[in-house]
């Protein structure tokens, strides 16, 4: 079961928990999201849809903001309710997008 849905609740009621999960303030998260959403890496002509950019950003920040066993793709995937492959795929896309800014 994904814990991503809790992030919105944390934004409104427990900012410290949002910070604990993503290591960033929700306002900054939204600013980054606004800056990267139009990047070409998120333009997909395939029949396989990508995860929403906001979800990919949350997964990336969770992954980069933790260390040890918690940052393994298996654990990130379990937290986000996605496969290990999706964690592995969205991480370099997000890194490339952020570095392009």
pLDDT in tens, 62-84: 999 988 777 899 999 999 999 99
Chain centre to alpha carbon of residue 19? 13
pLDDT in tens, 21-45: 999 999 999 999 999 999 999 888 8
Structure-token match 């040890």, residue found: 68
- Domain chopping of the chain, boundaries: 6-38+50-100
- Cα torsion angle, 28, 62, 64, 17, sign: positive
Looking at residue 79, its pLDDT comes to 93
Angstrom CA distances, 48 to 45, 61, 76, 92, stand at 8, 23, 21, 18
pTM of this prediction?
0.91
């Amino acid at each position: 079961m994904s814990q991503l849905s809790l992030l919105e609740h944390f934004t409104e009621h427990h900012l410290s928990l949002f910070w604990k999960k993503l290591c960033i303030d929700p306002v900054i998260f939204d600013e980054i999201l606004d800056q990267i959403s139009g990047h070409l890496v998120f333009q997909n002509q395939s029949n396989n849809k990508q995860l929403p950019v906001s979800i990919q950003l949350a997964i990336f920040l969770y992954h980069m903001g933790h260390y040890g066993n918690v940052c393994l793709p298996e654990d990130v995937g379990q937290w986000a309710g996605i496969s290990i492959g999706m964690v592995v795929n969205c991480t370099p896309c997000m890194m490339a997008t952020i570095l392009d800014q």
